[in-house]
Structure 1
Amino acid sequence: MAHLSAPISLPARPIERVLSPFSRFMRLESAGGIVLIACTLVAVAWANSPWAGAYHHLWETPLGFSLGPWTVSHTLHHWINDGLMAVFFFLVGLEIKREALVGELTSLRKAALPAAAALGGMVVPALLYAALNAGGAGAAGWGIPMATDIAFALGVLALMGPRVPLSLKVFLTALAIVDDIGAVLVIALFYTGQIAWGALGGGLLVIALAALANRLGVRRPIPYLLLGIVAWSCFLASGVHATVAGVLMALTIPSRTRIDADEFLEHADTSVHAFRAACERGTSVLTNLRQQAALQGLENATEAAQAPLQRIEHDLHVPVAFGIIPLFALANAGVTLSGGIGGALAHPVTLGVILGLVIGKPLGIMVFSWLAVRAGIAELPAGTGWKAVHAVSWLGGIGFTMSLFVAGLAFPDGGLVDESKVGIFAASLAAGLGGWLLLRRELARARPVAPSDVRGDRQTGLSTEPTERHPESSGAARTL
């Protein structure tokens, strides 16, 4: 069977030609961050405009449904933060599982550096925030500067193009994944109210049923979707934040393929030959039963060669990056600057967030990374030095989405939320700009990338750097 070096090019339909500019934009690594920034600016402008009342009234609109004697009703803001964000955390859980199985967290040696860096990037910012707010009204916000927004951080790296070493991108991704694990634990352990143990037990039982379905070989997404909705409802009623259910459900999604690459090629080759043999002049696939059977065989082989985890993660990327996260920003980023930016910046909560993200994050990442390397349990990313790691450590200070989420949990009554948001905005901007400038200067001093080192896509301008093949696409995944 001939080796295909590029995807098959199909004739463009009229609607595809119309939407092609948007498709090219959505394929950009930084596209999600651009949409997120746009929604943030709209939210801030709207909340400080003559129509500010409409902005706040919109998110407090009640939305619910009734089913017999059961009635569920919450505000639109609540549905976004506790409902749609559960899908975001489900995607985070899928990424965590993938990295633990076939990525940068598969072994202690590979995970040591990003794990140490993430730990430092959580502990030091929390301590700096607490130093300014311990015993005060904003003491509960210590978890706000601990988070890293992986989409924004990788988006800034993408702005540097193919000059950024792949190992540095992998390090930042793994760091952010471990950071997400820490954020989930902090939310579950410290930002949970009174627990209803019966509802929590019911939710954990549903998670166990999903894990059993995985063991029994259930691969279709519908059963997991239905179980996930029940688990989410139980966690919502338990007092443990419902987004934790999203992470736990993600861990039950099957990660094994049913057939390996060789078996897939054999099945695909058989189906293609059968399709070719069934060709008859003047007939259509719509009426040719043998061709339909061959196509169904090829479709079954394609499904069996993909891990459900891989397929679901791929399918969720666009709706989460371009739908859920921008909507979350639109609903939560509307800070009212009635007292002026200067007054907000002088508040201990704002200063604590800025100090934690801009100073604490880089300091914690660098110190803990240095200790891990010095102890001999980790090593620097290939082809990079401490200056490059220092530049990337600044990108870890872009908290944004996760920080906004934790701020809402830390101050549920709305008090001090605006001050924390101002700190998040200012710190994320400073950290992103600082990381970009430092990395730009470091890459300018490094050896330019030779044309043979990077394969570029001339049509889209995107780099197609060679990446490690995940065993999920081969027979190795079947042993996981």
Structure 2
Amino acid sequence: MRWRGGVCRWRPIRPSQSGCWHCWRVRAPAGLRALLLAIATVDDVLAVVVIAVGYAGKLRWGWLALAVAGCGLVVVLRRLGVLAFWPYLLVGALVWWATLHSGVHATIAGVALALLTPAAPMAGRPVLPDLLCVVAPLSAFVAVPLFVLANAAVPLGLSALSDAAHARVTWAVVIALVLGKFIGVVATIGLTVAAGAGRLPPGIGPRQVTGLGWIAGLGFTVALFVTELAYTRPQLVEHAKIGVLVASVLAATAAAITLAATDRPTDVVVSRRGACLRPWRRCGR
């Protein structure tokens, strides 16, 4: 929000992208990973809602009804016990296409379809793990890198960095991502625990929560994408993107220093033969 000429003008922007897996391997107990995943999931869902509401065009009710009907068809397929992947792929493509033409941002289609994915086994088959085995590599090594490269097209020369350093929008993004997210996450967790409305997972203390707060300040992917939607002037877009990149470096550094001072995780997975395994595993094992 900004005040100019006696008028308050505002643009909807996305909450900062929670850093997801940077604490996966080093000095991160399972409880911290679970807590981080929960925060990242809620953050991404709310971000998509902000995009869908704040940047929606003129609604086309026919296309929107078709998208809703497609989601209903997914529910019907689940009720019928359909386990094949391709029917859901076709219906999902239809839902995305209809949402794209409905005036609602197409990212909401992905959220709706994800929420309709069964977490429990169907007919004895673990649908979600099997789906992740197929989709996760494509998402991590194809979709996300292409997404970042397509939306991070910003010059990082000395003159561009110098201009960004003197721009208010750059520092506004840095402060919002690094300090804003840190204060929000740590304060919310602290107040929730103090009020007795929740408790921290085993092995999680104030130092781990502090590291989690810093990790939450990492912004990439959607944070870069929203800069294209929030600003129309190319210079402001460049400054905002540089702010996102700088904030991510600062947040990652602070998280690494904080978590480096904690003990290494003692939680491991023990196989049936008694051998100690790492907490991650390959698909199908």
TM-score bracket relative to the smaller structure: 0.7 to 0.9
Q: TM-score, normalised by structure 1?
A: 0.53
Q: Which amino acid aligns with 1:316?
A: V
Match in the other structure for 1:209: 73
Separation in 2, partners of 1:343, 1:463: 50
After superposition, the Cα gap between the structure-2 partners of 1:374 and 1:226, relative to the gap in structure 1 and judged at 3 Å, is same
In the alignment, does 2:252 pair up with 1:388? no
In the alignment, does 2:49 pair up with 1:179? no
**Equivalent pair of 2:52/2:107 in contact (CA under 8 Å):** no
1:331 deviates by 1.4
In the alignment, does 2:137 pair up with 1:318? yes
After superposition, the Cα gap between the structure-2 partners of 1:212 and 1:430, relative to the gap in structure 1 and judged at 3 Å, is same
Matches of residues 252-263 of structure 1 in structure 2 within 5 Å?
252-259=116-123
After superposition, the Cα gap between the structure-2 partners of 1:221 and 1:366, relative to the gap in structure 1 and judged at 3 Å, is same
**Equivalent pair of 1:138/1:349 in contact (CA under 8 Å):** no
Identical aligned residues as a percent: 34
Match in the other structure for 2:95: 231
Q: Any idea what the Cα deviations from partners look like across 1:107-166, whole Å, max 9, x if unmatched?
A: xxxxxxxxxxxxxxxxxxxxxxx4xx45599942x524433242xxx12x1352xx4222
Separation in 2, partners of 1:348, 1:235: 36
**Equivalent pair of 2:218/2:252 in contact (CA under 8 Å):** yes
Separation in 2, partners of 1:193, 1:409: 12
After superposition, the Cα gap between the structure-2 partners of 1:333 and 1:327, relative to the gap in structure 1 and judged at 3 Å, is same
**Equivalent pair of 1:145/1:399 in contact (CA under 8 Å):** no
Matches of residues 341-420 of structure 1 in structure 2 within 5 Å?
341-411=161-231, 414=234, 416-420=236-240
After superposition, the Cα gap between the structure-2 partners of 1:134 and 1:309, relative to the gap in structure 1 and judged at 3 Å, is farther
Match in the other structure for 1:147: 17
**Equivalent pair of 2:29/2:265 in contact (CA under 8 Å):** no
1:191 deviates by 2.2
Q: Which amino acid aligns with 1:169?
A: R
**Gap runs ≥5 in structure 1:** 1-129, 260-304, 457-461, 468-472, 474-480
Separation in 2, partners of 1:354, 1:137: 22
Separation in 1, partners of 2:220, 2:182: 16
Q: TM-score, normalised by structure 2?
A: 0.86
| Structure with larger Rg | 1
1:455 deviates by 6.6
1:466 deviates by 8.5
1:422 deviates by 0.3
Q: Any idea what the Cα deviations from partners look like across 1:215-271, whole Å, max 9, x if unmatched?
A: 121221111111111111111111111121112122333444345xxxxxxxxxxxx
Separation in 2, partners of 1:416, 1:138: 16
1:174 deviates by 1.3
1:434 deviates by 0.7
After superposition, the Cα gap between the structure-2 partners of 1:386 and 1:238, relative to the gap in structure 1 and judged at 3 Å, is same
**Equivalent pair of 1:211/1:252 in contact (CA under 8 Å):** yes
Q: Any idea what the Cα deviations from partners look like across 1:72-129, whole Å, max 9, x if unmatched?
A: xxxxxxxxxxxxxxxxxxxxxxxxxxxxxxxxxxxxxxxxxxxxxxxxxxxxxxxxxx
Separation in 1, partners of 2:237, 2:53: 21
Match in the other structure for 1:465: 279
Q: Any idea what the Cα deviations from partners look like across 1:389-441, whole Å, max 9, x if unmatched?
A: 01111000001112112222223675622111101000011001111111112
**Gap runs ≥5 in structure 2:** 271-275
CA RMSD, 1 decimal: 2.8
How many residue pairs are counted as aligned between the two chains? 275
Separation in 2, partners of 1:455, 1:212: 37
Separation in 2, partners of 1:464, 1:335: 38
Q: Which amino acid aligns with 2:38?
A: A
After superposition, the Cα gap between the structure-2 partners of 1:171 and 1:404, relative to the gap in structure 1 and judged at 3 Å, is same
**Equivalent pair of 2:15/2:43 in contact (CA under 8 Å):** no
Separation in 2, partners of 1:392, 1:366: 8
Match in the other structure for 1:435: 255
